[in-house]
Each structure stands twice: as C-alpha cells, then as structure tokens.
Amino acid sequence: MFDDDPSARFLAAAVTETLVVRDEHDELVPRLAESVPTLENGALRVVTDDPTAPSGRLVATFRLRDATWQDGEAITASDVRFAWERDSQEAPGTALRWNADRIDRVEVLGPRDLRVLYRDGERWDDYALGPRVLPRHRLLGATAPQLAAYAREPVHAGPFAIAAWLPGNITLSSFKSYALGAPGLGRIEIHFLPTRAAALQALLRGDVDLVPWPVLEADLAKTLDRFADGTRLQAYYKPAEALEVLRFGADPKRFGDASVRKAVELTVDRKSIVDDVFVGRALVPRTYLLPPLWASADETVPAVAPDRDRARALLAGAGFTKGQFGILERAGERMTATVLVAAGSVARTDVARRVAGDLAAVGIAADVRERSLADLRSDIATGRFDLAIAPEDAADPRLASERWAGLVDPWFDVLASAAVAAPDRGEKRAIYAEMERLWASVLPALPLYQELRVDVAPQALADLQPPPSSAPLSWNVYRWTFAR
C-alpha cells in the first residue's frame, strides 16, 4: 500500500493520514495537525541567530489533534519523530528520504506538541508536508515479516480501515473515530481488474461506481464522452502537474549531439499527437515545468512546430548521409535507436510508436520496447538507453529541477541553489524562468505532453474533488457522500 503506484496511493490516502495536505485550491490545510504553522500565526519562524544555521533556519511548531490510531492508541508527537527517524534511513532518491533530508531534527515538546527544525538555508514551500506520522507502538522493533505485513494492511489514522483483503478485492470500513469526524460513506469496496478494458466494461455495466485515474486514460476521451453523458456518470478532466518526456541518451555519436536533439525536436509532431491521442485536451509543454504549477513561466509561447526540412539540414550538417533503405549513416554507423517506454499506459505506448514513425520520416530508424517503470528508471540512471519515454512529476519545482542536475548547464545548477535560498515565490519564479530558458536551449529531453487526469464517477457522489496536483482522487474521501 506504500508503493510508488497510483492504485496504491489511492488506497493509502483512504487508510492513512498526514499532518497537513494541499486542498483543491492548492492551499495547505490541516488534518492531524490542529493548524498549519505560518508566519502570520507565529507557529512558523525564520531563526537567524542559530550558529549551526548561518543561512537561517525555518522552525515550525505543530500541535496535534486529540486523535487515535485505528487500534485506539493515542497519536502522539513521538509518532512524528519516529516517522522522521525511519524516513531518514530510507534509500537515497526516494520521496520519503528526500522529505526527511529537508529536516534537521524533530523535537517532542509534549504529548501532542512538537517542533520541526529544518536544514540550514531551507526555504521550502511544502515545509508543512515534510513531517508525517507512523504508529511507533506497532513498528518499533518490528521484524522484517511484520513490516511487510504492515505495508500490506496498515493500521493507521485515515478515514477508512481495512476490514477484509481477499483475492481480487479489498473492503474498507469507515473509522468512526477519525480525526475530522466520521466519514460520509460507511464502506468502500475496491476491485482489482486485470485490464483497463475490463474496468471500462465494469463501469458500463454498473458493477463499479468509480474508476480513478490512471486506470482509464485521456486517450479514451471519445469513448468516455459517449457514455458519461450526464445521465449517471461524469468524467472529470484535469491537467496534472506531470508530463511525459522523451529523454535522450548521452552517447555523443547519437543523441548526445545537440544538433541531433534539435533535429528530433523539429521532427516529432507533438501537437498532432495531442490532437489525435488526447482529442486536443492535453497541453504540449515547453519545458520540464508546466502550468498550473506556480513556478512555471508563461505558456502563451507555443511549442516548437515541426520543420522536417530544417531537421534534415541539421542532421546533414552533423555529418549524416542517407544510406540503405533511407536510414541515415555517419562514419559507417547507421542511425538506429531503441525507444524504451514505461509499461502500464496504453496512451504512452501509442505515443512512443508515433514518435518512432516521425523519426523514420527523417531517416532515424527506431523500434519501441516496453519496460517496467522501475527498470526504465534504472536504465535512465545508468545511461543504458538511446531514447526513453518516461513520466516526470513536476508538482514540486525544486524536486523537478534536481532531477536535471548535471544534465543541462553548470549555470542551471547554480540557479537551482539560488531558487532554494530565495525568500519568496516572486523571486523563485524569476529564477525558475531563467532555468527553463536554459533547459529549453540545451534540451536534455523533449517534453511530449502534459498528463491529463480523467476520473469517472457517479454524478450523485457529492464532494468528489479532483486535486490540483498529482495527489490521488481519494485525498478527501472522508467527505464523499451519496445524495439521497
């Protein structure tokens, strides 16, 4: 239930709870915390006289609600410190470790009171999302089998608890002592289906009420629009703070050559991909950041349009000539490539095949090969690839920028540090705009399309609200009710 997987996150958001979340308006709102620490209410301070933090340190004081775990034990400040200590031991590069590394220490002030001291120089917009809770009384000293069992069926503090887990389905029952009050629904049944076609048919037959993103994708817009016609179901479309990019391998004989990367940009018809696959609903991003993210630059400037004659001229200038079967050659080596694509998305694989077709138009022979997302991430990290299409989360501009460190320009990395230290969003946004300009000029990857969430749910289900970020649809499941 804690895997980096959309279905797992949907479940986890219903069963677990956090101190603070971002709501449908992208505002920080309290959950297990009584309030969000802010400069205005005095619970957030910038300490400048700490000799161990010469650049200044954020200090946030939290007070927890008088709440219990689903087994009846009280939630305490020690549970927050315990969670941070565990997260600090996670593998580098994981989201949990990244959040934990933003924090210097967690101090327990009382049973429900704690102080979070962030690292020297931290100026993190999501500071309140850093600390979280874990049930210390259950996990302290747990064996490996016990930890594995907990990861499958956690006892936490969310609005729903796991009542039964059988092959093919899970039953969640409402947690009446939930910190924000008893949920509006008494029970949720989760069904696991083998394919999205099976999920679509179950929805049409009325066997299931709701299908959350990304079980169904926006490439099904025409189909969804036909049956989610306002009589019973409704399809909710929302741009996500995430995108799919075509990453370039570093081999200087191939896509490590800037001229070749530019030629690819001028070859791939991204607007056509969006129009055909996503019925024109998705956006063609210009860089690695994109709206509605606050740090994204103005998107009124259109993405680079295809110009294959210019692309062929660039490739010719780089020393490529047309060889057998129209495939480009340079120094006796044919320009062939493998496009690795993260499995699990019909739309993404369709896009990969269209990219390969566009490349063939200028003499680059590419074949598409699906890989699990974990294997693809490993291939990208080690540089074992020619081209790779992978999803990129852009919800946090700092974290998104860190993923491109060392791949753009030394000045890009300097600006990334300056953006972290900038005191407010206005200054940060100006710095990120310059970073986007550098990124677009070097082009370590080609942004293909912005991910478009599509959730299908009954019209009668009230208070369902797709979040503005990549959070799961179940972020506010405690408020869901069926209108009578």
304 in a structural domain:
yes
For residues 423 and 283, membership in a common domain is answered with yes
Summarize the confidence of residues 11-38 as an average pLDDT: 94
- Please report whether residue 138 resides in a domain: yes
- Determine the average pLDDT of the residues in 462-467: 86
Give the H/E segment covering residue 310: helix 308-317
Report if residue 404 sits inside a domain: yes
Domain of 49, CATH number, reads: 3.90.76.10
Domain hosting residue 144, numbered range: 17-153
- Over residues 312-337, the mean pLDDT reads 92
Which pairing describes strands 44-47 and 57-63: parallel, antiparallel, or unpaired?
antiparallel
Mean pLDDT along residues 129-141:
96
Nearest to 226 by CA among 218, 239, 235: 235
Which residue(s) pair with 156 in the sheet? none
pLDDT at res. 93 = 79
**C-alpha to C-alpha distance for 363 and 251, rounded to whole angstroms:** 18
Same domain flag for 140 and 250: no
> What pLDDT score does 2 carry?
87
Q: pTM for this one?
A: 0.81
Within this chain, do residues 133 and 253 fall inside the same structural domain, yes or no?
no
In a domain? residue 330: yes
Q: Report pLDDT digits (tens) over 156-183.
A: 999 999 999 999 999 999 999 999 999 9
Predicted confidence at residue 388, as pLDDT, reads: 95
**What pLDDT is attached to residue 33?**
98
Contact 221, 281 (CB under 8 A): yes
List the beta bridge partners of residue 370: 341
- Using the predicted structure, report yes or no on whether residue 386 has a pLDDT greater than 60: yes
- pLDDT score recorded for residue 5: 82
Tell which of 153, 177, 197 closes a domain.
153
Give every CB contact of residue 67 below 8 A, 6+ residues apart in sequence: 32, 74, 75, 157, 177, 178, 179
Minimal CA–CA distance to 225: which of 213, 212, 237?
237
Q: Do 350 and 445 belong to one domain?
A: yes
Structural domain includes residue 102:
yes
What gap in Å lies between CA 193 and CA 187, rounded to an integer?
Answer: 19
Indicate whether 442 and 338 sit together in one domain. yes
Residues 6 or more apart whose CB falls under 8 angstroms from that of 140 comprise 82
The H-or-E segment that residue 385 falls in is none
Query: Rounded to an integer, what distance in angstroms lies between the CA atom of residue 100 and that of residue 134?
Result: 14
Does the pLDDT at position 229 exceed 60? no
391-414 pLDDT tens trace:
898 888 998 999 999 999 999 999
Q: Report the chain's terminal Cα–Cα distance, integer Å.
A: 32
**What pLDDT does residue 230 have?**
56
- Residue range 226-248: mean pLDDT, rounded: 81
Mean local confidence (pLDDT), 83-90: 95
Characterize the bridge pairing of strands 336-342 and 387-393: parallel
**Same structural domain, 258 and 368:** yes
CATH assignment at residue 244: 3.10.105.10
Say whether both 253 and 147 belong to one domain.
Answer: no
pLDDT of residue 148: 92
Region 460-474: mean pLDDT is: 84
Residue 276 has pLDDT above 90, yes or no: no
Among candidate residues 122, 153, 184, the one where a domain is terminated: 153
The residue among 153, 177, 200 that closes a domain is 153
Residues 140 and 264 in one domain: no
What is the per-residue pLDDT for 298? 66
Would residue 169 count as lying in a domain? no
- pLDDT per residue as tens digits for the range 87-124: 999 988 788 999 999 999 999 999 999 999 999 988 88
Give the total number of structural domains in the chain.
2
- Nearest alpha-carbon partner for 134 in 91, 98, 84: 84
What percent of the chain has pLDDT above 90? 62
Residue 141 lies in a domain: yes
- Tell me what pLDDT residue 412 has: 95
For 176-207, how does the pLDDT look when each residue is reduced to its tens digit (9 = 90+)?
Answer: 999 999 999 999 999 999 888 899 899 888 89
The pLDDT, as a whole number, for residue 236 is 86
The pLDDT score that the predictor gives to residue 424 is 82
| Contact by Cβ (8 Å): 376, 383 | no
Is a pLDDT exceeding 70 seen at residue 262? yes
Q: Which pLDDT does position 235 carry in this prediction?
A: 86
Question: In this structure, are 268 and 411 located in the same domain?
Answer: yes
> How would DSSP label each residue in 290-325?
-TTSTT-----SPPPPP-HHHHHHHHHHTT-EE-GG
- Higher pLDDT among residues 26 and 404, named by residue: 404
Residue 276, exposed/middle/buried by CB under 10 A (0-12, 13-18, 19+)?
Answer: middle
| Mean predicted lDDT score pLDDT of the chain | 91
Domain for residue 69, yes or no? Answer: yes
3-state class (DSSP) for residue 107: strand
